[in-house]
Structure 1
């Protein structure tokens, strides 16, 4: 047996000879960013050998000077003797986005209120199906000696008209002690089930009828966001987000699906989303709000189809294999106790229905929140999360497809990328004469990386300033120290020199990063073009475009057009609507009418599989330029480039 020690965590683990170093780190609960899940493609799992030897090979991701200093890739290294391994901060950079953050902002509040108004205008009522009632029970006597539960049932029958009252074993175990501690004055939380029937799910001392809460949750591949809601008034009591802890098993759904097939992979992924991500989020909101988990009696969640499978612990492997069949698109109601979610154990977990293998409940919820289903106009909805999903239609029809955009829009597969969290560079301007950048960082913190909106700005500015050509390749001989090339001839542009903010390393974007992002934006543009062409329509027939997802509030619509991600149409037709999945869950939490509409929307959407659509690959290849191979499709950009 061998010993592996990790610093600065100062954690040691005993392993067998020949074990993979990345897997050893995972066993030791040491986070190392590995977006490619150990396939040796991304190069982000760099660690440093301080003592001992490792069986490894030099990778193209390791520069000569790094190799000489002892840097290796954890994924292609095996333990062959006792070693001490240093985890550089950049190797765990994705953890920067794992911290729980409060969500706030006037813009977000306005979007929520606008979505509520759309439902109200369409005759939908906002009210919860869960009820609370304060009851005063007659204490038992020798003459009135019925059981405690029968006493409660009698009171509800005589005073509230419920002829049949049910509860489950966990509730039954609480009744006797609680009603006596409360001097027989308690508040019951119950769910009416048809004429004269109800089920008790919670009981509290005294009169707490003014306190009733629910949770809306968006399970993103990169980020998870939640809001704690007062079910009486619809007030957002608390909002928070964090990174999805599953990211240690891969940045995208395909790598996570593959990991789920290995050993205890599915169990580990399920544990990562529930116990390492969702429950800490919930407990943080409860603590900040002074609310008990037993007071949370409604729970709505949405995620892409893979995230939905992993959330429930359902084997997902057939999602990635032709003909791409999910185990389910609509799940049954599930008790919180079955998944060990930190809410009232009797709470039903409602998972928003998916449409297909790569169009999930997050898109269904987003379409509900956007109001496309009630519009006379032709609306294009684009979700720029870790996957790129598109919906086009109006009240008469809804067509949808998914693009293989990868996680680039949330910073994945970008060497300096991160999600839109504190420390992320979200806006970039470049001086045309000096090539010096001017950056804006979320939270006014020290820069840690760059998020999706910042990458769009950066690539656009690099194109317009002549730093890169239309293929995304850096131009040589510009006379600036911010452009440099390695021994393999791969160029990079330094956004932040480490000396500027006392960082451990420079923040730079490479030609490989730019190429990854160009392919991601090309997938979106070609997906939209193919979807419209299949309907015999073109970009001129779009009345509005809604952009949703975790790309960040600073998304510059003009720059998105200039790089060829969005069609060259009037900018006032395009707007960013934030986390529409979370909004849709919130609306569903507050309204049974909204839930019925949500399921109608899911059934109404027609899925188009782009991989079998004639001409899609040709469209994609043509869009892998800045802004496009056919510059005439972007007349406004053509004028800028000429100048």
Structure 2
């Protein structure tokens, strides 16, 4: 056996000769950022070899001086003898997002207010079908010797008006003791279905005041869990963290590929359930002194891949032509079925998907955006890892998905990270000296840059003459922030390590810029093609709703200037935040909203861009700043000419 000492984590691991270093770390729960899932294409899994020898090769992602210092790519390294490894803290920029982040009461209230507005505007029922009732059952005697279940059923029939009860084995196991410890005075939680009820929980005495539900948004990069009081319908608390699946790849394709490996599907399922959602739930229970058995219903929204992995369903056919998803509508699920840290009998409802790459997060988003009832033409764009787009109104809704990649959430960018403390979220550049002015989330030292910051940066680099419209840095600039490596790849320094006590400078290079241009090109060309498929153009749009994890600080003007969004009237744009979470919350607190969510999933039409005749030409044209056809962006044309 060979010993691998991860000195940075104070952890020693034993493995076999020839084992891959990245897989050794993964199997030991040591996080190493690897967005490309070990295909040696992103260069983010850079670690430092302190002692021993390995079988590894230098790549373009490792500079000459780094190679001399012992830096290697974990995914491109196999162990051949005892070694000592240091995982740089820079690699934790993505891991930083794995930390559980607490609630923001102001934002929590916004979720409630937006949902309430949808319910009131469209006359939806503000009710659920889950009820909690205190009951006092007649105690058994020699003359009245019905079984506990029959006794309970008789009481329900005579006093609550339901003819039949249903329940799971776990409830039966605890019923005899709870009934007798409390003199047959208990509280039951149940779901009403015409003349029948399904009992979810039985509790000691009168505990009618405690009844909770949970809304969950499973993003490819991050997960948000929202705890809701089912009586008041208010958001009690919220918690979020990075999706632990990120260690198996930054995007759905890499994760699907990993799921086909030995135990891959199990690991991905455990990563989202055991390592992400359950710890988030537990943090909410502890903060609010709540027993998990009082959490009796959940609504979960995620893209089609995330929903499948959440259930542990094989996903590989999603990425293979003709791109068939394993399911679209939610199967019947209870908490116990998938190991969620909630009441075993809790109902779990998955927001319906539309196609392989338009999932429940989008149907939930469309529900919260109100497109289904709008007289106006609304363009809905979810700026997440997958880049889904919906266009329509109350008469029709067309949808498509673009392979945008994780750049909007910091993935695929050398110093990228999700929008959390330490992320550079806004950038402006002084044209005279090319020095940046940075706004950092949490008003702390910077550790990376998130999606909104990248948009600002590329826009500013274009307007100040640092890059051309291809995204290439001008070679004749004489400035300490502009430099080129041994491969002649240019980079711009956002933050020097000396100024912020960092291990390395925070930089954005030409490869990062090219990745982001492709990302924004996918979104713009997807929207353009979707609207063109109806014989229309951007002029027919009445409103543009921007959703997703890119953050409230998305600069619409800068997004237009780089060609991410169409150059139309600015007042038409609005950022609506995590629409997937709001839609899940709506379906949790309203039976009518849940029915509407299912209807949206059934009625939305999907356009497969990969086979649409003009899409690829439009995509190539959009991979420019802002576009090869500058006439589509009159605002940018005027700015560049001035």
Q: Which TM class, normalised by the smaller chain length?
A: over 0.9
RMSD: 1.2
Name 2:44's counterpart in structure 1: 44
Name 2:367's counterpart in structure 1: 368
Structure 1 CA distance for aligned equivalents of residues 413 and 105 of structure 2? 28
Where do residues 548-567 of structure 1 align in structure 2 (5 Å cutoff)? 548-567=547-566
Structure 2 CA distance for aligned equivalents of residues 635 and 302 of structure 1? 38
Deviation at 1:118, TM superposition (A): 2.2
Give per-residue Cα distances to partners, 1:414-473, cap 9 Å, x unaligned: 011111111111111111111111111112222111111111111111111111111111
**Normalised TM-score (structure 1):** 0.98
Does structure 2 conserve the Cα–Cα contact (< 8 Å) formed by 1:115 and 1:370? no
Deviation at 1:476, TM superposition (A): 2.7
What runs of 5+ residues in structure 1 fail to find an aligned partner? none
SS at match of 1:133: strand
SS at match of 2:299: strand
Does structure 1 conserve the Cα–Cα contact (< 8 Å) formed by 2:140 and 2:146? yes
Does structure 1 conserve the Cα–Cα contact (< 8 Å) formed by 2:622 and 2:628? yes
Name 1:120's counterpart in structure 2: 120
**Normalised TM-score (structure 2):** 0.98
Name 1:288's counterpart in structure 2: 287
Name 1:61's counterpart in structure 2: 61
What runs of 5+ residues in structure 2 fail to find an aligned partner? none
After superposing on structure 2, the runs of 4+ consecutive aligned residues of structure 1 that deviate more than 4 Å are none
Name 2:421's counterpart in structure 1: 422
Give per-residue Cα distances to partners, 1:26-64, cap 9 Å, x unaligned: 122111000000000000001111111001111110101
SS at match of 2:180: helix
Asked if 1:631 corresponds to 2:630, the answer is yes
Structure 2 CA distance for aligned equivalents of residues 445 and 249 of structure 1? 29
Deviation at 1:478, TM superposition (A): 2.6
Structure 2 CA distance for aligned equivalents of residues 247 and 297 of structure 1? 29
Give per-residue Cα distances to partners, 1:552-586, cap 9 Å, x unaligned: 11011111101100000011100100000001000
Name 2:130's counterpart in structure 1: 130
Name 2:483's counterpart in structure 1: 484
Structure 1 CA distance for aligned equivalents of residues 29 and 425 of structure 2? 30
Name 1:298's counterpart in structure 2: 297
Structure 2 CA distance for aligned equivalents of residues 109 and 381 of structure 1? 23
Asked if 1:589 corresponds to 2:588, the answer is yes
Does structure 2 conserve the Cα–Cα contact (< 8 Å) formed by 1:424 and 1:451? yes
Q: Which moved more, 1:442-451 or 1:56-65?
A: 442-451
Name 1:175's counterpart in structure 2: 175
Structure 1 CA distance for aligned equivalents of residues 272 and 324 of structure 2? 23
Q: Tell me the matched-pair count.
A: 642
Deviation at 1:143, TM superposition (A): 3.7
Q: Which moved more, 1:439-448 or 1:50-59?
A: 439-448
Structure 2 CA distance for aligned equivalents of residues 343 and 430 of structure 1? 49
Deviation at 1:107, TM superposition (A): 5.5
Deviation at 1:273, TM superposition (A): 0.4
Structure 1 CA distance for aligned equivalents of residues 126 and 168 of structure 2? 28
Name 1:356's counterpart in structure 2: 355
Name 1:380's counterpart in structure 2: 379
Structure 2 CA distance for aligned equivalents of residues 555 and 203 of structure 1? 47
Deviation at 1:105, TM superposition (A): 5.7
Does structure 1 conserve the Cα–Cα contact (< 8 Å) formed by 2:304 and 2:355? yes
Asked if 1:208 corresponds to 2:216, the answer is no
Name 1:322's counterpart in structure 2: 321
Does structure 2 conserve the Cα–Cα contact (< 8 Å) formed by 1:111 and 1:577? no
Give per-residue Cα distances to partners, 1:177-226, cap 9 Å, x unaligned: 1122223321110112222x212111112211121110000110000011
CA distance 1:597–1:500, shift in 2 (3 Å): same
Does structure 2 conserve the Cα–Cα contact (< 8 Å) formed by 1:128 and 1:232? no
Give per-residue Cα distances to partners, 1:303-349, cap 9 Å, x unaligned: 11111111111110011111111111113111110100011000121
Give per-residue Cα distances to partners, 1:360-419, cap 9 Å, x unaligned: 010010000000000000000000001110000000000011011111111110011111
Does structure 1 conserve the Cα–Cα contact (< 8 Å) formed by 2:187 and 2:205? yes
CA distance 1:218–1:45, shift in 2 (3 Å): same
Structure 1 CA distance for aligned equivalents of residues 108 and 460 of structure 2? 28
Structure 2 CA distance for aligned equivalents of residues 216 and 453 of structure 1? 26
Deviation at 1:149, TM superposition (A): 2.5
Structure 1 CA distance for aligned equivalents of residues 105 and 560 of structure 2? 26
